[in-house]
Each structure stands twice: as C-alpha cells, then as structure tokens.
Amino acid sequence: MMRDIPSKGERYRNSKGEELEILAVARHTESYEELVVYCPVNDPSKAFACPLPVFMKQTEADDEQQCSLEKIADAPAEELKDSDDLSQVPPMLLEFLDAETYEEKLAVFDRMKNSVTDDIIDSIAVSLDTEVEKAPIEERYRQIREILLMQEKYETTRLR
C-alpha cells in the first residue's frame, strides 16, 4: 500500500491516537533531505519535523503492510485560513523574525527579556538553525543571546 506525499492541511493519526496536521514538506538547508513539518491538532503552537521516508514508512501487521500514520482527513478550509493568521504570534517574536541584521535581532531579543517563554526560545532557535538545551528560561535566554552575539560579530564582518 503506497500513499501520496503529504501536503499542507492533511491530517493523520499516529499510533497513540493523536491527530497531526501537515504544515509543509520542506528541505533541510544543508543536507537537502525532505522533511514533513507537522503539528499536533490539539497543540498547534508546537511544530515537529520528520524525514519524509520515516513519515512514509510502512509497518508489517497481520501479514499485510500498513502505514504507521493513518491519513484521516484534510483540514477544513476555514481552519487552513485560520492557521495562516499571525494574530496569535507574539508581536515581539514577529519583530525578531522580521529583523534583517543580527544587530537588530539582538536589540529585539534584549527587549523581550522579561516576557520570553520556552515556546518563543524554541521558535527563535529554529529561526537561527540551532538548538537550545532544555534548562531554566534564564539559561536558555543566555544561550540564544550568546549565539546572536557570535553571529553578529562574525557574520557582519564576513563579507567585508
């Protein structure tokens, strides 16, 4: 049983019964590996990426092959429209993501210090193509700040 490559808005159920919504099929920036980006329907603030072959893998059950994730339905058109709505994204995070230089990103990040959350730290880490260890929020904030300082120092002088 072969299935089509997933696309935005499709929904799947995993072996634990959780519903997942496909956000995109993306490519890793360095390896060009295809990844399926999805989020749990009950917690759309968390996104995950899985290599496409792993997402598509089949399992053997009762002498027949079955997909490990079962397609259940496409998201209703209204929900797709809502998922593109940025009104639920913290304005400071949007400002950080829109900043064009590391100096601007650092300035926005410094202004966020008292309102930063683990979800914001995770989003910023993804945008910087890095990972931040699970730790108290102050430590995670410090780690991101160090990354921004390093990138500001080295990336801005690289093209001179």
Q: Three-state SS string across 28-80, please?
A: CCCCCCEEEEEEECCCCCCCEEEEHHHHHCEEEECCEEEECCEEEEECCHHHH
Q: Is 54 in contact with 69 (CB distance < 8 Å)?
A: no
Is residue 126 in a domain?
yes
How many distinct structural domains can be found in the chain? 2
Highest mean pLDDT among 6-20, 66-80, 127-141: 127-141
pLDDT confidence of residue 60 = 47
pLDDT confidence of residue 2 = 55
Is residue 118 in a domain?
yes
Q: Which residues span the domain enclosing 108? A: 89-155
pLDDT confidence of residue 68 = 67
Q: Which of 71, 95, 63, 93 is nearest to 4 (CA)?
A: 71
Is residue 5 in a domain?
no
Quick one: 74 and 101 in the same domain? Answer: no
Is residue 20 in a domain?
yes
We report the CATH number of the domain holding residue 32 as: 2.30.30.320
Could you read off the pLDDT of 47-90 as tens digits, one per residue?
A: 888 888 888 875 445 444 445 678 886 545 445 444 555 567 78
- The stretch 13-28 carries a mean pLDDT of 87
Phi/psi of residue 74, nearest 5 degrees: -85, 150
Quick one: 108 and 68 in the same domain? Answer: no
pLDDT confidence of residue 136 = 93
Beta-carbon neighbour count of residue 119 at 10 Å? 12
Quick one: 113 and 129 in the same domain? Answer: yes
pLDDT confidence of residue 16 = 83
Q: Is 142 in contact with 132 (CB distance < 8 Å)?
A: no
pLDDT confidence band for 157 (50 / 70 / 90): low
Report field, pTM of the whole predicted structure over 0.85: no
Quick one: 59 and 94 in the same domain? Answer: no
From CA 8, how far away is CA 21, in angstroms rounded? 8
Please give the share of the chain, as a percent, with pLDDT higher than 70: 79
* Least confident window among 12-16, 96-100, 118-122, 139-143: 12-16
Instruction: Examine the fold and report which residue of 34, 61, 83 is the final residue of a domain before the chain moves on.
Output: 83
